[in-house]
Amino acid sequence: MDRKTVGKEITRRHRNDSSNMKPILQPDGDSHRDKNEQGSHSKQDNSESGASQDSTTSIVSRPHGTSGFSGTSGAAGASGAFGTNEASGASEAAGAFGAFGAFGAFGAFGALGSSGTSGTAGASGAFGTNEASGDYGGGGAFGALGSSGTSGAAGASGGFGTSEASGASEAARAFGAIEASGFSGTKDARVRQVERNEVVFAEGASSCCRLDELKQLAECDSTLGDLTFSKTHTVLVDVSAFNHGGRILPQPGNDMWNSSFVKMPCSPGSVITKTPSRKVLRWKLISKQLKGLAEKKSVHVHEVVDAIVSYNPTYKGQWSFDALLKFVEKIPSSENYFSTLFPKIAALALRLPDEVQKAIPLLRTGHAAAITLSQYQISCLLANAFFCTFPHRNASGPNAEYHNYPTINFSSLFGHWSDQKKEKLRAIMHYFKTVTDKKPQGLVTFERRCLQDADKPSWKRTETLQKLHVTASGSIENEGTGMLQVDFASSWIGGGVLSSGLVQEEILFLIYPELIVSRLFTEKLADNECLIVTGSQQFSFYSGFRENFEWAGPFEDTLERDKWRRLKRQILAIDALNFRHSREQYSLRNIERELNKAYCGFQRREVNEPDIATGKWGCGAFKGDKQLKALIQLMAAAKAQKGLAFFTFGDEELVRDLKQIYHLLVKQRITVDKLYRLLLDYCAVLKQCGSHVDLFGFIGNAIKPVRNQL
């Protein structure tokens, strides 16, 4: 639409009754974003991506007073009334529709007669001018002209079409606006407007469902056939013996010593150079040390340390075993069974060549693939991690062979002492005690999923929001058992489980220790990837979080098993972006990255799949906005056609707010595409505001009928 047409249309509508207004500019499809842009861990984008700017220098040829409207827009630093422009000659549009600053930047208007919003981040539909240029592609959020009758950017103007002189559109509640930002009108007038046009969140009203209304894995009709392998699914047990007799035997195979497979400690390729002309098989040295320990009834912790150092001579004097030594020293005698457990762990580690005969492929970045192995094979691998036997896995520099993989040897866990290390070791020692007392009999599958560009969903298409259960009590791993349980992961799977980290992901890896083996073969997750683990067993109870975490005793897992003898438990590892500054998350690029990351894990592969158990994903040290992350997961679940159980971990305020906004979204029939556009509008407003704007309040103001319209 050209400049003259826009100007005439504004003039015409200005003279008509505001209740008859309809959109002047419609959202312009994909013009507001670069389809090739993707989020990144290594390089954060703290700008609003995809700004689409028009060269038009003026929207309105002449200001138009207040004819047909009793409200004023109150430009901050400009002269207030609609169409009045005395502050600057640079643009006739300055002051029109409300402005942020003297030049009318980003007047946040709105849906112009519709229930959605027409502005997009730096794109079409926005009628605020952009500084002195007067561009009408400038990113306004527009708040519902002809609908709620309120508008106004955060800290800017509004009240376009209202009966008060204020222009403050629910400043404190909906937009988080600051009085000092230049609202016109008196404080009393603003208060009266908020009272008359207040967004009504019905107390007690809820569209949320009960937890038992959500689907669990045990309720899903299984379409699982016989256990089979393929080019993308490696099975480390004999499928014929398993399918026909239910026996779990190792799959015969060959060792592979190359960059596509795990380099095993028992591989002929793993050698130690004694002299330039003499090389010794590393497994020969390892097995000698481990046999010496396994043959004893009782082993002192110093003997364990000496054994580890003997076949890792490079790290003699570098590795600290302070945590392991103090752990054994400080644990009460009633619980101190470690001297008799160490020989059993050594014997378990020695079983590796017999139990894992087929090469283990690496789950590499960009390749969708899966590995199924037995719980007993996992225990053998973890016993070797305990004794730090895996070759080429100790160096972590940028030139190291496995620099893009997590650590797997336990040397970092055995290092510097802390009370948190003590509790971690209690959980891990209990795991080894359990699997050495009784051989586990199940299978576990680790699947790396990649969301290709062609499979990324359009967030501008209509999908109805799915069921939501919100609670401050309970947890993902307990009440969420049987659902797709979300691990708030690091891109390095397992995070700091083998070092100092002790938040949600690390706790999951401690109570389900079989997850730790994923660090052996899972390369760092890319922005379009996730890891799903099916069949891991819970071995421990716990209490607390971070510095308050405590191992709370043994757990007996009684979940049903599927046809592949996997426990009916699925854990989804998706890594949120780690923001250096929290405001970085409010950009198109980063929002779409998080939407696609969540969808990668949530997406439906079969007709009958469990719903999702999640919570405040990425909202701790990663500085995520808990309201934004909740909506992102709600949108991704809607795309996947799955319900959501949201555990806030005691955050009662979030429970209340999320229930209220969800109820409003459902009652107003807000679909994913409308919610997506609202998020873009919010980002545009927030970019221009010096302080934070409450997201739920912003959305509520944009879509909820106001009291004087009810």
Give the other-Cβ count within 10 Å of 351's Cβ. 16
Q: Hey, is 542 helix, strand or coil?
A: strand
Q: Which of 423, 505, 523, 592 is catalytic?
A: 505
Q: State the virtual CA torsion across 28, 32, 35, 41 in degrees, nearest 10.
A: -150
The yes-or-no answer on residue 505 being catalytic is yes
CB 338 within 8 A of CB 414: no
**Considering only CA atoms, which of 127, 84, 126, 121 is closest in space to residue 102?**
84
Find, among 148, 316, 209, the residue nearest to 699 by Cα.
148
Strands 550-554 and 540-543: antiparallel
Return the closest-CA partner of residue 702 out of 692, 685, 688: 685
Q: Which residue has the tokens 């003039």?
A: 11
Beta strands in 314-368 (DSSP E): none
Task: Determine the distance from the C-alpha atom of residue 228 to the mean position of all C-alpha atoms in its chain, rounded to a whole number.
Answer: 32
Closest among 630, 615, 618 to 675, alpha carbons compared: 630
Q: Token pair of 135, please?
A: 């561009």
The answer to whether 295 is a known catalytic residue is no
The burial class, CB within 10 Å (0-12 / 13-18 / 19+), for 569 is buried
- Whether the Cβ atoms of residue 623 and residue 585 lie closer than 8 Å to each other: yes
Distance from the Cα of residue 491 to its chain's centroid: 10
Tokens of 352: 């590796």
For 64, the token pair is 């138009």
Sign of the CA dihedral with 486 first, then 490, 496, and 498 last: positive
Q: How many C-beta atoms surround the C-beta of residue 179 within 10 A?
A: 12
Active-site residue (options: 487, 592, 625, 681) = 487
Which amino acid appears at position 373 of this protein? L
* Catalytic residue list contains 506: yes
Catalytically annotated residue among 164, 506, 527, 609 = 506
- Give the C-alpha separation, 228 to 298, whole Å: 42
Amino acid letter for position 391: P
Q: What is the DSSP letter of 138?
A: S
Q: Which of 102, 94, 100, 86 is nearest to 169 (CA)?
A: 100
Looking at residue 307, its amino acid is A
Cα–Cα distances in Å, from 345 out to 267, 334, 424? 20, 20, 17
- Three-state secondary-structure class, residue 654: helix
Which residues are marked as active site? 487, 505-506
